[in-house]
Amino acid sequence: MDTLKGHMLLDWLRTPEADPPKVAGLWGEVAHRVKRVQILKDRQIEQEQARLAQFLSAIDASPNGVMMLDEGEQITWISSNAALHFGLDPKRDLMQRVTNLVRQPAFVRYLAAGEYGEAVKCAKAGGNGGHLLIQVQRYGDGNQKVVISQDITERERADTMRRDFVANVSHEIRTPLTVLSGFIETMGALPLTEVERKRVIELMSQQAERMQTLVADLLILAQIEGSPMPPPDRWVRADRLMQRIESDARGLSRERHPMQFTLDEQGQHGEIAGVESEWLSAMGNLVSNAIRYTPEGGHIHVRWVNLPDGGGEFSVKDGGIGIAQEHIPRLTERFYRVDGSRSRETGGTGLGLSIVKHVVQRHGGELRISSEPGKGSTFTLTVPAARVRLSA
C-alpha cells in the first residue's frame, strides 16, 4: 500500500504543476509539505521578479540611456532611452552583438580599446546633428559591461548659442570703442579748432550713446530671462500704456510721421495682466522700429483692441521700407538685422525684437509679423484671454 502511495507521490513530483495526490498518512504529510515549500518558492520568485521589474523600470526612467552587454558584447538589456540614442529596438535587438548594430567608428574603437576611463562623444542615431556622450563601465566579473549614454545635443546647442552671443556682444561693443579711442587719440595729438573739437565731441557722444543703448538692452534681456514668470493678477491699464507709448513715440518721430493711436470703446477699459515695464518695453520697441524704418511722411498706426474671444491685440502698422519674406522668421534672433548699417545709423542694437518676443512669450502671447518690401509692415502682439480683462 505504502509503495503505491510512494509511487503516486513520485509521479506527482515528476509533474509538480499538477495537484498533489490525495493520500493519507506519512506520504500524505510529505506531499503536503512539498507543496508548501513549492508555494513558498513560487511566491519568492514572483516577488524577486516584481522587484527586478521595478528596478529595471527605475533605470528605464533615467534620462541617460543604459545598455547591458554580456561577455560576448551581446545586448542583454537596453533601456528605452538607450534604444532611442542608438536607434535600436529594445526587444528585437536583444542578444545581438552591439557592434553589429551600432557601427559608429568612435564607439566601436572605444569599446574595442577597453580603456573606459573617459567618455567618448558620438553622433546620435537619426543623423540630425545630435551628439551622445558614451561611457562604458565593467561590472560583474569584469567581463560584462554597461554602456551609459547621455544626449548632449541641447547642451551643445546652448553652448554654441552662448559663444555666439558673447562674440556678437564683443563685436558690437568693440566697434564704437575703436571709434571712440580713435577720437581720443586725435584730440590728444592734433591741435583742433573750436568747430572741429565740437564736431569730434558730438561724434564721440554718439558712439558712447550707442554703447549705452546696447548695454541697456542687454540688461533688459538678462533681467527678463532671470525673473520669475509674470504674475497673472497684476493688472496694467491699456490706456495708460498707450499714453506712455504715444508720448515716447512723438518725441522720437519729432513730427516727421503722421501718427494715429487708437483705443476702441472697449479698449478704453482694457487691462492686461503682467509686468508693466516689460509690456512698455515690448510695445515701445515695436513703435520705435516703425519710426526708425519708416521714411519721413510715412504713416504709423498704433492700436489696442479687445478681441471677441476675450483676448487683446496690440498692433503697429507702418508705411515704411518693409521686410522681404525670407528675413521674417529670423527677425527675433539676437542681433539679426536685415540691413546692419541702417539699423546702427538709427540707433538700433539688433536686440529689440528678441526682447519683444521674450516678453510676449512669457505672458503667454504671440508676436505676428506681416510685411511687404516697399509698402510697410505690421507687427501684432496678441495677449491671451487669461491676461486681459475689462475694468469695472
Interacting residue ranges for ligand ADP, rule: CB under 6 A = 285, 289-290, 293, 318, 320-321, 323, 331, 336-339, 343, 348-354, 377
Side-chain half-sphere of 382: how many Cα atoms within 13 Å? Answer: 11
Minimal distance in Å, beta carbon 313 to ligand ADP?
A: 17
Comparing CB distances to ligand ADP, the nearer of 132 and 300 is: 300
Report d(CA 34, CA 18) in Å as an integer. Answer: 13
Minimal distance in Å, beta carbon 362 to ligand ADP?
A: 17
Give every strand in the sheet of 235-237, ordered side by side.
235-237, 270-273, 388-390
Backbone torsions φ then ψ of 49, nearest 5 degrees: -65, -40
Q: Give the helix ranges, DSSP H, for 71-152.
A: 80-86, 98-101, 105-113
Comparing CB distances to ligand ADP, the nearer of 36 and 342 is: 342
Comparing CB distances to ligand ADP, the nearer of 20 and 348 is: 348
Comparing CB distances to ligand ADP, the nearer of 292 and 387 is: 292
Minimal distance in Å, beta carbon 202 to ligand ADP?
A: 22
Minimal distance in Å, beta carbon 186 to ligand ADP?
A: 28
Backbone torsions φ then ψ of 77, nearest 5 degrees: -160, 145
Side-chain half-sphere of 18: how many Cα atoms within 13 Å? Answer: 11
Contacts of 317 (CB under 8 A, 6+ apart): 290, 299, 300, 301, 302, 303, 376, 377, 378
Comparing CB distances to ligand ADP, the nearer of 270 and 365 is: 365
Comparing CB distances to ligand ADP, the nearer of 199 and 375 is: 375
Minimal distance in Å, beta carbon 351 to ligand ADP?
A: 6
Minimal distance in Å, beta carbon 339 to ligand ADP?
A: 6
3-class DSSP state of 301 = strand
Are the C-beta atoms of residues 324 and 284 closer than 8 Å to each other?
no
